[in-house]
Structure 1
């Protein structure tokens, strides 16, 4: 058995759309991203121009460690994400930072492709 680890302070890749930082580390058999969204961030304003879809088409599996985010799905359902709660967000949504604190989280399923042209 082996162990694979890397620091998010020295990511394999960094993506920086407006008000967004995605630090990507590639491990043995897995890719993980640390996402940081600054106050005022909204997917439809900051990431949509990069990916060119009407709504976010990524499936997200992750957790937040700081800040608060609101997610609105195309079907009208909404959720408020807070630190310490694991989530799955299906494709077809918009999201935005709530309040004046940056949102920092970790993504496991969409890490390889999120916010990538």
Structure 2
């Protein structure tokens, strides 16, 4: 088949740690995730208890659809990600929702889609 489509509304897998929803669809050769973080979400408070470690060790490649996200890397570099932005965040970081609007993003790194927020 040369065309394949799946809906995030009927994902192959859904994960729901605190203030988090990860909807994963598996397509030929790639897994894609739609992540939703509610206001008050912070990796170190909501995901760390599920996966452990001192910082997020997942590489993220995606696009932010709504909300705002701050990210700080272990080396001190910081980024403020806004809607319409594509991003790459390397392992070794913390992140949190800024403001009162949920963050919704699409993640295109298969390993991240397959493992993020999974115990």
Is the aligned partner of 1:76 residue 2:80? Answer: no
Distance (whole Å) between structure 1 residues aligned to residue 84 and residue 4 of structure 2: 24
Indicate the structure with greater helix content.
2
Distance (whole Å) between structure 2 residues aligned to residue 69 and residue 81 of structure 1: 5
Instruction: Give the unaligned 5+ runs of structure 2.
Output: none
Number of the residue aligned with 2:105: 105
TM-score by length of 1: 0.98
Distance (whole Å) between structure 2 residues aligned to residue 26 and residue 85 of structure 1: 23
How many residue pairs were aligned?
117
Distance (whole Å) between structure 2 residues aligned to residue 80 and residue 41 of structure 1: 15
Number of the residue aligned with 2:10: 10
Instruction: Give the unaligned 5+ runs of structure 1.
Output: none
Number of the residue aligned with 1:115: 117
Distance (whole Å) between structure 2 residues aligned to residue 104 and residue 98 of structure 1: 12
Distance (whole Å) between structure 1 residues aligned to residue 48 and residue 113 of structure 2: 17
Deviations 1:20-44 (A, max 9, x none): 0000000111100000000000000
Post-superposition offset of 1:53 = 1.2
RMSD: 0.7
TM-score by length of 2: 0.97
